[in-house]
């Protein structure tokens, strides 16, 4: 029997997909008009139905009419993951039935666990907007529909894992005719490439989607062992970056690779185009500001914190939300012709200094300098375990290199920390990923 609800969402998705593959090329003023209309609508909604905004806008002596464009989003104070973690309910709309929403859980690069409530319209709109980057993929594989996609993600079978859950939600709530639906294979990111490669080859995906670090691991394995490898026509990654060596390997194999910028608080923020420089930001839905420590907007081209407003999700309204990432705007127009502005994300973002009980501070980047040119070390992660204890995890693939490497690194750590902390070096097979699939180089105190 046909469900009216599913029919509604099927039509909603179809309607929202119209024009999306060319949206990024629209005139800037049209995109700005869409964005500002969405700002006015969500602020009015938030003022009426979201406790935090009703109180905050009133406390500022303002009303919904004072929010006419994205510039006005600088009026409310900045939010960050800890505000969301402490009192999530004050950001939720009282007029939207929580049972019809999806909960996305994340710890992300900040390491602060939090839950984001997303409504069905936001999820379907997000799926439709995916057409902007999907058009790059489908061009590369020369198939619009019915392709095979392998997805390497953390714990795909566990209820918390976002990517498969969102896919399942869409499938369960709308009709996807056979031949249009994407055939997907999920692989757990904690599995080693040696174990999953036969399965991946058997599935023969057109597209491979993964975390950046998972692609590194896969391509390192394929290069080192010359294992059989079915070449997908295109790859894309998110959550963390791929190493330059992986970009080179894929270029040599003729496999184009793209990246997307995503977060649970703002799903599809941006995507990389065929120019491979920065992310085109979907500013009609996720207007961004780059701000300094005091929340002031910095001039284009200067690096600062990424503050996003999600104009799509009405179930939990998050405006001027500090994602914990650092980036700068690329001022030049993109040679690809897309008008959506480009963001240059600083990898290994939001790194704080390590503060020790003696008062000494050490910048983690000083530690990264120790590895420059050290070919034996493939990956590393510095963990501030307890106030005066530092642990360094190292991935050194060749056992013979571990002894000399350990001596070098121990010596460098002693020089850096002197008597202010005890340090230890551990060799591991892989660096653990955060819940959001990010591989962090530095884990600050209190976030393990
Ligand atoms: Zn471009």
Concatenated DSSP letters of 214-244 = HHHHHHHHHHHH-------SEEEEESSPPPH
Q: What is the pLDDT of residues 56-111, one digit of tens each?
A: 999 999 999 999 999 999 999 999 887 887 899 999 999 999 988 998 877 544 44
Task: Point out the domain boundary residue: 318, 346, 374.
Answer: 346
Q: What is d(CA 9, CA 173) in angstroms, rounded to the nearest whole number?
A: 7
Residues 179 and 298 reside in one and the same domain: yes
Q: What is d(CA 411, CA 211) in angstroms, rounded to the nearest whole number?
A: 33
- Decide if 104 is inside a domain: yes
Residues 337 and 392 reside in one and the same domain: no
Where residue 60 sits, what CATH number does that domain have?
3.40.50.12780
Please tell me whether residue 259 adopts helix, strand or coil conformation. Answer: strand
At residue 214, the pLDDT reads: 84
Residues 386 and 251 reside in one and the same domain: no
Tell me if the pTM is above 0.85: no
Residues 358 and 334 reside in one and the same domain: no
Please tell me whether residue 375 adopts helix, strand or coil conformation. Answer: coil
Ligand 1 centroid–CA 186 distance in Å is 29
Task: Point out the domain boundary residue: 306, 327, 346.
Answer: 346
- Decide if 266 is inside a domain: yes
Residues 375 and 320 reside in one and the same domain: no
Ligand 1 centroid–CA 90 distance in Å is 38
Token pair listed for 25: 């090329």
Ligand 1 centroid–CA 127 distance in Å is 21
- Decide if 251 is inside a domain: yes
Ligand 1 centroid–CA 338 distance in Å is 5
Ligand 1 centroid–CA 337 distance in Å is 6
Q: What is d(CA 237, CA 398) in angstroms, rounded to the nearest whole number?
A: 27
Where residue 398 sits, what CATH number does that domain have?
3.30.300.30
Residues 84 and 206 reside in one and the same domain: yes
- Decide if 448 is inside a domain: no
Of 233-247, 328-342, 425-439, the least confident: 425-439
- In 120-275, where does DSSP find H-type helix? 120-129, 131-141, 162-173, 193-203, 212-225, 244-253
Ligand 1 centroid–CA 139 distance in Å is 15
Q: What is the pLDDT of residues 300-340, one digit of tens each?
A: 999 999 999 999 999 999 999 998 888 999 999 999 999 99
Structural domain harbouring 378: 354-443
Q: What is the pLDDT of residues 169-212, one digit of tens each?
A: 998 999 887 666 788 899 987 778 899 999 999 999 999 999 88
- Decide if 439 is inside a domain: yes
Residues 395 and 413 reside in one and the same domain: yes
Ligand 1 centroid–CA 341 distance in Å is 9
- Decide if 166 is inside a domain: yes
CA quadruple 369, 371, 374, 376: dihedral, nearest 10: 180
Q: How much of the chain, in percent, has pLDDT values that exceed 70?
A: 90
Residues 323 and 379 reside in one and the same domain: no
Ligand 1 centroid–CA 124 distance in Å is 25
Residues 341 and 371 reside in one and the same domain: no
Ligand 1 centroid–CA 330 distance in Å is 11
Confidence of residue 112 (pLDDT cuts 50, 70, 90): low
Ligand 1 centroid–CA 276 distance in Å is 7
At residue 186, the pLDDT reads: 92
Ligand 1 centroid–CA 335 distance in Å is 6
Residues 277 and 366 reside in one and the same domain: no
Ligand 1 centroid–CA 270 distance in Å is 11
- Decide if 55 is inside a domain: yes
DSSP label of 47: H
What is the arithmetic mean of pLDDT over 223-233? 94
Residues 124 and 166 reside in one and the same domain: yes
Ligand 1 centroid–CA 405 distance in Å is 41
Q: What is d(CA 170, CA 161) in angstroms, rounded to the nearest whole number?
A: 15
Q: What is the pLDDT of residues 348-399, one digit of tens each?
A: 443 456 778 877 767 666 666 566 556 778 778 888 898 899 999 988 888 8
Ligand 1 centroid–CA 336 distance in Å is 4
Strands of the 148-153 sheet, one edge to the other: 183-188, 148-153, 207-211, 234-238, 257-262, 268-271, 279-281, 342-346, 321-330, 304-308, 288-291
What is the arithmetic mean of pLDDT over 149-157? 82
Domain count, the chain: 2
Residues 358 and 342 reside in one and the same domain: no
- Decide if 330 is inside a domain: yes
Task: Point out the domain boundary residue: 346, 373, 394.
Answer: 346
At residue 159, the pLDDT reads: 55
């Amino acid at each position: 029997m046909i469900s009216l609800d599913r029919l509604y969402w099927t039509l909603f998705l179809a309607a929202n997909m119209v024009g999306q593959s060319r949206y990024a090329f629209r005139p800037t003023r049209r995109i700005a008009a869409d964005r500002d209309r969405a700002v006015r609508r969500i602020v009015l909604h938030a003022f009426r139905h979201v406790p935090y905004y009703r109180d905050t806008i009133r406390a500022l002596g303002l009303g919904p009419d004072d929010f006419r464009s994205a510039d006005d989003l600088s009026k409310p104070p900045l939010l960050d993951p800890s505000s969301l973690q402490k009192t999530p309910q004050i950001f939720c709309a009282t007029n939207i039935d929580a049972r019809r929403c999806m909960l996305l859980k994340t710890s992300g690069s900040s390491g602060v666990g939090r839950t984001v409530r997303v409504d069905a319209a936001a999820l379907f709109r997000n799926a439709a907007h995916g057409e902007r980057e999907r058009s790059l993929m489908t061009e590369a594989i020369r198939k619009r529909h019915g392709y095979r996609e392998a997805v390497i993600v953390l714990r795909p079978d566990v209820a918390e894992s976002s990517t498969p859950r969102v896919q399942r939600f869409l499938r369960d709530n709308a009709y996807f005719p056979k031949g249009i639906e994407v055939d997907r294979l999920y692989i757990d990111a904690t599995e080693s490439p040696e174990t999953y490669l036969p399965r991946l080859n058997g599935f023969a995906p057109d597209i491979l989607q993964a975390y950046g670090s998972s692609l590194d691991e896969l391509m390192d394995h394929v290069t080192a062992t010359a294992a059989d490898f079915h070449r997908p026509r295109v790859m894309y990654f998110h959550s963390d970056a791929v190493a330059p060596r992986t970009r080179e390997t894929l270029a040599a194999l003729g496999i184009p690779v793209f990246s997307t910028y995503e977060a649970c608080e703002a799903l599809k923020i941006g995507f990389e185009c065929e120019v491979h420089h920065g992310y085109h930001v979907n500013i009609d839905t996720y207007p961004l500001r780059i701000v300094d420590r005091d929340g002031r907007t910095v001039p284009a081209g200067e690096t600062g914190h990424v503050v996003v407003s999600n104009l799509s999700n009405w179930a939990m309204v998050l405006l001027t939300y500090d994602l914990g990432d650092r980036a700068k705007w690329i001022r030049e127009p993109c040679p690809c012709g897309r008008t959506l502005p480009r963001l240059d994300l600083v990898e290994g973002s939001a790194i704080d200094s390590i503060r020790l009980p003696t008062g000494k501070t050490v910048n983690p980047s000083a530690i990264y300098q120790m590895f420059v040119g050290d070919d034996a070390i493939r990956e590393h992660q510095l963990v501030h375990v307890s106030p005066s204890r530092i642990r360094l995890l190292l991935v050194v693939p060749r056992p013979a290199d571990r002894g000399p490497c350990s001596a070098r690194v121990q010596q460098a750590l002693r020089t850096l920390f002197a008597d202010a902390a005890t340090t230890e070096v551990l060799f591991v097979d892989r660096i653990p990923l955060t819940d959001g699939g990010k591989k962090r180089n530095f884990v600050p105190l209190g976030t393990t």
